[in-house]
Amino acid sequence: MPAYSSDAERLIEVSHLAEVQGRSLWADARSRFVRNKAAMAGAFILIVIAFFALFGQLIAQYERDMIDFTLIGANMQKGVPSIETGHYFGTDSSGRDLFARVVQGTQISLMVGIVGALVAVIVGTLYGAVAGYAGGRTDDVMMRLVDVLMSIPFMFVLILMLVIFGRSIFMLFLGIGLISWLDMARIARGQTLSIKNKEFVEVAHATGVAPFKIIMRHIVPNLLGIVIVYATLLVPQMIIFESFISFLGLGVQEPNTSLGALISQGASNMAYGVLWQLFFPLGFFVLTIFGFFFVGDGLRDALDPKDR
């Protein structure tokens, strides 16, 4: 054991060791994630899709709402994918460039998934942490409220919100996020019940630190690992929900579009032999979903303390 000339030196040494240990844990998780081939493949897919969504409009030869009247109606089959015409993915049933439409659809689907998951994670984590730390009657009342809300059909509430408040992108973001926080609240509450009895939380409470500060400085940071994993797995669920709503015609409205709306339009035109209208948006949708699931599984395995 090293000799310390003062308690201050000992505290500095302990803090330094804790910092090194914290870095090594995250470094170990990063190393485990990199060794996961499926997770790295998923990360590569998401990077490619993100670049496509951000910079695809720079490559497109046409605006997403520009109509070519010679490629609609009976001439719809002439709008095949072609590099020469600049319609890389062909045209849709209204004679609009499908490449530009898929770019915008990918942007909106990613925004709905990421923003919806972010809202759900923030609300659910704070709610669950407060309930778990408070305990007793407060915990019972808060979690019974979660049980009641979970008994209400998710799709019914979301469709009702869109009908009452309007079918805007903002309402779609807000509706999906505010309804999807319930599972996160349960997860955060369960983790908080095990964390609040740790020594560092008891010391903070004994020294008079306010409960809200304990939750924000000690409870929530220790939930970071499970929150990251859940958020990654929640994004594809949000994208699927949005696609289903748009498939029903209640999601993003014209002239904007999403992958779900494009898939709906492509499916309705399959009888006319224009398979590219379904193939391209469906392909990007499937790749995005699988990419997030692979990354989420990789993060879950990398951050799982049982495998350390």
- Residue-wise pLDDT for 74-85, tens only, equals 556 667 878 877
Mean pLDDT of all residues in 257-270: 83
Domain ranges of the chain: 8-307
Q: What is the per-residue pLDDT for 55?
A: 92
Q: Which CATH number fits domain 8-307: 1.10.357.10, 3.30.360.10, 1.10.3720.10, 3.40.50.300?
A: 1.10.3720.10
Q: What is the per-residue pLDDT for 26?
A: 66
Q: How far apart are CA 171 and CA 166, in angstroms?
A: 7
pTM: 0.77
In this structure, what token pair is assigned to residue 51?
């670049």
CA angle 276, 282, 285 (to 5 degrees): 145
pLDDT at 308 over 70: no
Are the CB atoms for 101 and 255 separated by under 8 Å? no
Q: What is the per-residue pLDDT for 283?
A: 92
In this structure, what token pair is assigned to residue 185?
């609240």
pLDDT at 304 over 80: no
- Tell me the range of 99-108, 201-210, 215-224 where mean pLDDT is highest: 99-108
Q: Which residues pair with 96 in a beta bridge?
A: 67
Both ends of the chain: CA-CA distance in Å?
A: 27
What is the three-class DSSP state of 295? helix
In this structure, what token pair is assigned to residue 54?
């951000």
Are the CB atoms for 70 and 95 separated by under 8 Å? yes
Are the CB atoms for 233 and 296 separated by under 8 Å? yes
* Sign, CA torsion 93/168/283/106: positive
Percent of the chain with pLDDT over 70: 85
Length of the chain: 308
